[in-house]
Amino acid sequence: MNNSKESQFSPTPSSGTQSTGTVALRWLGASLELLDQRLLPAQEQWLTLATASGVSQCIRDMVVRGAPAIGISAAYGVALAARQATASDWRAQIQEAIRDLAASRPTAVNLFWALQRMERVFVGCGTPSEALARLENEAVAIHQEDLAANLTMADYALEAMGFSAGAEGAAQVSVLTHCNTGALATGGYGTALGVIRRLHEKNLLKQVYADETRPWLQGSRLTAWELMRDGIPVTLNADGAAAAILAAGEVRWIIVGADRITANGDVANKIGTYSLAVLARHHKVGFMVVAPSTTVDMDLQSGADIPIEERDGIEVREIRGIPLAPEEVSVFNPVFDVTPASLIDVIVTEKGVVRNPDIIGMRNLFG
Ligand SMILES: CSC[C@H]1O[C@H](OP(=O)(O)O)[C@H](O)[C@@H]1O
């Protein structure tokens, strides 16, 4: 892996929508560039990956993170494996790359959806050169489809919020969001942050409150950085301040992303999401989950079935090597929690919207 400045590919959004300059990844054809999100906001440093194992390590280390971005990066990782696999055992090498990428993080179903889609293409390839061409095309398609989905979801979300088309002059709304669900977490534009971008584009956004999102600080380090680059009015708050913000009465919606949505509408998302949903219900604030259909896992009946990733306690005990707690203290560090469907007012996907989600509403949309 080394640093690089040039890039050849980053999908441009469909016409009629403001594109965002921020991207998390760039496909160069023979390599994948990843913006090292561990260093933001202090440094914008790109890593160039030429192997699937390098991409897998970057997902493990959260160089790139965010459910859709993880899936897209893994898809490009499989394409890189095809480029590397020229020996007689090329099939085994690509299959091993898929296995290694699948082991990189356990919760975001987008990863497994993307790898299964790439594997379906791979098994139909007869030669290494056919695999190289078809797998690269499939990874690019996954990337571009994700961006298109985000643009569609932004429109659906505004309708769900009561902003019909052409509502530019309507009263502005303040919202609160958690973690990072923007261009840094997706193929571009963002899921929950895509809705926030669209509200801003239509002059419907008064203020975004962004939870800092301990312990990895996706909110303070990524969301605040991303929104300020786009001139979007963002106020950073400690996670513990969310209750007081909702009690003040300005915020009308909490808008978050997801890492896995099960058949009954339960949602796994960044740790702290569940408590926001409880607060939202108590304060009669709308609670919206925005996620592409690649985040929906109809094979799991409920959130109890979702594997919740736990990461090293050092992420809680330290920040960039600076101790925040006694070195030997034990730490509970699940990086996701599950919000029951009963606390969710609406799930927005590019295939449509599920209000008051339950298994019937999910099945109507996803079969
Ligand atoms: C649209 S990103 C979805 C999801 O991914 C983030 O997790 P992580 O930063 O650990 O990859 C967070 O849960 C976002 O809401």
Q: Is 259 part of the annotated catalytic residue set?
A: yes
3-state secondary structure of 277: helix
Q: Which strands, in side-by-side order, build the sheet including 251-256?
A: 234-237, 205-211, 173-177, 251-256, 286-290, 346-349, 352-355
Catalytic residue among 259, 266, 337, 345: 259
* 69 Cα: distance to centroid of ligand 1 (angstroms): 9
Examine the predicted complex and report whether its ipTM is higher than 0.95: yes
Which residues on adjacent β-strands are paired with residue 297? Answer: 262
Is ligand 1 within 6 A of the CB of residue 269?
yes
Write the CA distances from 343 to 177, 347, 350, integer angstroms.
Answer: 16, 11, 21
Amino acid identity, position 86? T
CA distance 11 to 8: 10
- Ligand 1 atom closest to the Cα of residue 295 is 3
CA distance 180 to 223: 5
| Counts for the chain of helices (H) and strands (E), in that order | 12, 16
Helix (H) or strand (E) holding 16: none
pLDDT score of 86: 76
- Ligand 1 atom closest to the Cα of residue 186 is 1
CA distance 161 to 154: 11
* 63 Cα: distance to centroid of ligand 1 (angstroms): 13
pLDDT score of 87: 79
pLDDT score of 3: 46
Which parts are annotated binding residues for substrate? 65-67, 105, 218, 269-270
**Unique residue bearing structure tokens 């007689």:** 88
Is ligand 1 within 6 A of the CB of residue 221?
no
- Ligand 1 atom closest to the Cα of residue 192 is 1
Q: Which residue puts its alpha carbon closest to atom 2 of ligand 1?
A: 66
**Tens place of pLDDT per residue across the chain (367 aa):** 444 433 333 443 333 333 458 999 999 999 999 999 999 999 999 999 999 999 999 999 999 999 999 999 999 999 999 999 977 899 999 999 999 999 999 999 999 999 999 999 999 999 999 999 999 999 999 999 999 999 999 999 999 999 977 666 778 999 999 999 999 999 999 999 999 999 999 999 999 999 999 999 999 999 999 999 999 999 999 999 999 999 999 999 999 999 999 999 999 999 999 999 999 999 999 999 999 999 999 999 999 999 999 999 999 999 999 999 999 999 999 999 999 999 999 999 999 999 999 999 999 999 9
* 260 Cα: distance to centroid of ligand 1 (angstroms): 10
pLDDT score of 166: 64
Going by C-alpha positions, the residue among 352, 17, 345, 11 that lies closest to residue 198 is 17
* 294 Cα: distance to centroid of ligand 1 (angstroms): 13
- Most informative mutation of 65, 113, 335 for ligand 1 (most atoms within 8 A of CB): 65
